[in-house]
Structure 1
Amino acid sequence: MSTYPRTFSHIGISVPNLEQAVKFYTDVLGWYLIMAPTEIVEDDSPIGEMCTDVVGAKWKKFKIAHLSTGDRIGVKLFEFDNQENPEDNFEHWKTGVFHFCVQDPNLEELAEKIVEAGGKKRMAEPRYYYPGEKPYRMIYMEDPFGNILEIYSHSYELTYAAGAY
């Protein structure tokens, strides 16, 4: 099998309240709702069996919604019955997803919109990758549910092509 760069399809994010998360991600980030919140139950249906394959037995039920970003990347939001909200969801030293990143040329405006919607800044101010040379900047945030998201002002390729550090 040859090696080539695969495209990114979607990411799954756990949240404590699916309806609030759908509202946040559609109203604040402008993502499209492509499948409304749906309850999935543990049973012998094809979807029930598939979920048992993934998470194991005795999951009972969960809610899921499907969204899409402006560049057609899928976002699955999950609300599980036994959802836990850690006080600090940023255990960066543990294996797993560290954060996800969105891009907006007006990142300061988006950062304020996230704060107004109940999220928070993890950095006091955006940082410049090439101070005085290029306007490429970033900031780490949290959504209202404790998930870590980063905002870039420019594309990943532009930011790192010249070696950002």
Structure 2
Amino acid sequence: MGSLLSQMYPPEMKRVKMAHMSSGNGVGLELFQFIDPPTRRPNTTSFEYSRAGLFHICVTDPEPENLVRRIVETGGKQISPVLTVFPGEIYQAVYTLDPFGNLVEIMATSYERQMSNRDPNVTSQISDPTITSRPSKSQQLSTSSVLQKIIAKN
């Protein structure tokens, strides 16, 4: 990887740690920690949801409170309380900032389990219903038409 990285990064980059993960369906995730030169820590007092680029990543942990505690102990921050996503159910979610300022959502169960077989008229309790409600068929078609126009231009 050394010669490949030297072709991808500027010569100032001397040392990096990498972790490569792959899911059962072939989706890969690469994590990088730049050692030399050292990584500059971003502002971690709040999260910038409106900035371009990666907004957040979501991980699953059956005990989100324990992972939140570990994130805070290593210099991160808890952004939201641990929330019950749907009334009367065990599904929970919480937002944190990791020590590097990345927004990390933690869900207590897998996304598929938490979100599948939902009544389309029932929204979660964690947000304003005007935000979480599903778009009507006409809104969906309208959005689809807009996307088709954007794709056609590019």
Aligned length: 116
SS at match of 1:51: helix
Question: TM (normalized to structure 2)?
Answer: 0.59
- Corresponding residue of 1:144: 99
SS at match of 1:101: strand
1:58 to 4, 8, 11: 11
Question: Does the aligned pair in 2 maintain the 1:52–1:59 contact within 8 Å?
Answer: no
> Which structure has the higher relative contact order (CA within 8 Å, separation 6+)?
1
Question: TM (normalized to structure 1)?
Answer: 0.56
Which structure shows the higher strand fraction? 1
Tell me, yes or no, if structure 1 residue 158 matches structure 2 residue 113. yes
Question: Does the aligned pair in 2 maintain the 1:99–1:147 contact within 8 Å?
Answer: yes
Runs of 4+ in 1 over 6 A off after TM superposition: 69-73
SS at match of 1:66: strand
2:63 to 94, 98, 106: 106
Per-residue CA deviation, residues 18-73 of structure 1 (Å, 9 max, x unaligned), is: xxxxxxxxxxxxxxxxxxxxxxxxxxxx733x224433x33341321326599896
- Could you tell me which runs of 5 or more consecutive residues in structure 2 were left unpaired when the two chains were aligned: 125-131, 133-154
Deviates more, 1:101-110 or 1:64-73: 64-73
- Corresponding residue of 2:48: 91
Query: Between Structure 1 and Structure 2, whose CA radius of gyration is higher?
Result: 2
Per-residue CA deviation, residues 119-157 of structure 1 (Å, 9 max, x unaligned), is: 21011x11222122x111100112223222111011111
Paired with 2:22 and 2:87, the residues of 1 have a C-alpha distance of 29
Paired with 1:60 and 1:105, the residues of 2 have a C-alpha distance of 37
Which structure shows the higher helix fraction? 2
